Amino acid sequence: MDYLAEGIALGVDSLILAACIKQYYKHKNAMSMIQGAPFLEINKDLKEIVRTHPESKLSYVSIRGTVKPLGNPIVSNNNPNVTGVVQLLRIKEHVIQRSTTGFWADSERTIQEVHNFMPFALQSGGMQVEIIDPLAADVLDMDVISDEFKPTVPSVMDHIWGFFAGVRQRGVQSTEKMLRKGAMITGIGEIVHTSDGNLRLQPPSNGAPFYLTNMQVTSLVKKIDGSKRNYRLLCIFFGGLGVVIVGLLVRKYWKYKLKLIEDAKRKEKIEESRRLRRRQMRDNNLPESQLCVVCKSNPIEIILLPCGHVCLCEDCQADINDNCPVCRAPIDKKSVAFIT
Ligand SMILES: [Zn+2]
Ligand SMILES: [Zn+2]
């Protein structure tokens, strides 16, 4: 009985379903946490509000302000007019790869990825909140400064090599992203009043996500809600698929069980008709000494060893395996006896 295909399908389905459920709850929790985070204006009262809280911190708040570098800003590699506080430089190679199925498919791999960053502050109305490690953010929105794709021009040798190696290069994509100086962003995280008298936004110690996004809180919540809904749909889909696969498995097992029962019935029928046929062919006027000691109707047909008693018919011998019914000697072996 082969349940391998269904088993594998069910396993894969369960893994995907588990991942979707995890993502769904992650988004759901993030949403409720963001909605529960108070929005604080960056103004002269903020320092006092934070300082007077226990441990001089508020565990999850959202603030909004413009990005101000704390020091000399980073200058873009591709556009000297653009400066910022976080820079991402990424080089990706696009290739066409022959898969194990023999088809050629597009794929890409990151060759190099560099992040440069510096501490900065979110500023509003002359007051500011420092952000020391922006790369610790779970979500960090940046502007694309440059995104260039350089196609490879392959030589004849490259074509030949590519055919045998199963990989052909399509080109190289270079991307530069930056969190620009002067950008208006929302920061959601833990705000603390530091010992040197400044305010700082940092990753929350309760594990809630740390956001640095150009979206307003309401749009961010809407976006997370959208993703949450998509994951819910995926959960429903893969959950339903799981139910279908389990249904198929049950049906297959049920069919197998029914077949076993039917086989047993058919076998029993054949056996019964064989017995009947045998009985009809027998001599009905046998003396009692020639009849089976158990059923007293069939002729003796089986010899028991080592005692040598010929006292059972073929039908009854199946139920007697331990001792000879005549002398109680243990039965080692049974054999067909030919009585002429
Ligand atoms: Zn018998
Ligand atoms: Zn015996």
Per the prediction, the chain carries an average pLDDT of 90
Ligand positioned closest to the Cα atom of 316: 1
328 CA distance to ligand 2 centroid (A)? 6
Question: pLDDT band at 160, cuts 50/70/90?
Answer: confident
319 CA distance to ligand 1 centroid (A)? 10
50 CA distance to ligand 1 centroid (A)? 99
Higher pLDDT, 278 or 10: 10
Task: Say which amino acid occupies 242.
Answer: G
Contacts of the segment 296-305: beta carbons below 8 A, 24+ positions apart? 299/339, 300/337, 300/339, 301/336, 301/337, 301/339, 302/334, 302/335, 302/336, 302/337, 303/334, 303/335, 303/336, 303/337, 304/329, 304/331, 304/333, 304/334, 305/331, 305/332, 305/333, 305/334, 305/335
271 CA distance to ligand 2 centroid (A)? 28
261 CA distance to ligand 1 centroid (A)? 27
292 CA distance to ligand 2 centroid (A)? 13
Range from 76-90, 247-261, 265-279 carrying the lowest mean pLDDT: 265-279
Q: pLDDT at position 159, please?
A: 82
User: Which tokens hold the place of 152?
Assistant: 């490879």
Give the tens place of pLDDT for each residue, 108-136.
889 999 999 999 999 998 899 999 999 99
Rg (CA), the chain: 41
267 CA distance to ligand 1 centroid (A)? 21
325 CA distance to ligand 2 centroid (A)? 7
273 CA distance to ligand 1 centroid (A)? 17
**What is the Cβ-side half-sphere exposure of residue 319, based on CA atoms within 13 angstroms?**
8
Give the tens place of pLDDT for each residue, 35-81.
999 999 998 889 899 989 899 999 899 999 999 999 999 999 999 99
310 CA distance to ligand 2 centroid (A)? 8
pTM for this prediction: 0.68
Task: Say which amino acid occupies 83.
Answer: T
What domains can be seen in the chain, in order of their start residue?
Answer: 37-214 (no CATH), 288-336 (3.30.40.10)
The mean pLDDT of 200-224, rounded to a whole number, is 92
What does the alpha-carbon distance between residue 113 and residue 175 come to, in Å, rounded to a whole number?
A: 9
102 CA distance to ligand 1 centroid (A)? 68
282 CA distance to ligand 2 centroid (A)? 24
What does the alpha-carbon distance between residue 15 and residue 34 come to, in Å, rounded to a whole number?
A: 29
Ligand positioned closest to the Cα atom of 292: 1
322 CA distance to ligand 1 centroid (A)? 16
263 CA distance to ligand 2 centroid (A)? 36
Does the pLDDT of residue 279 top 80, yes or no? Answer: no
334 CA distance to ligand 2 centroid (A)? 11
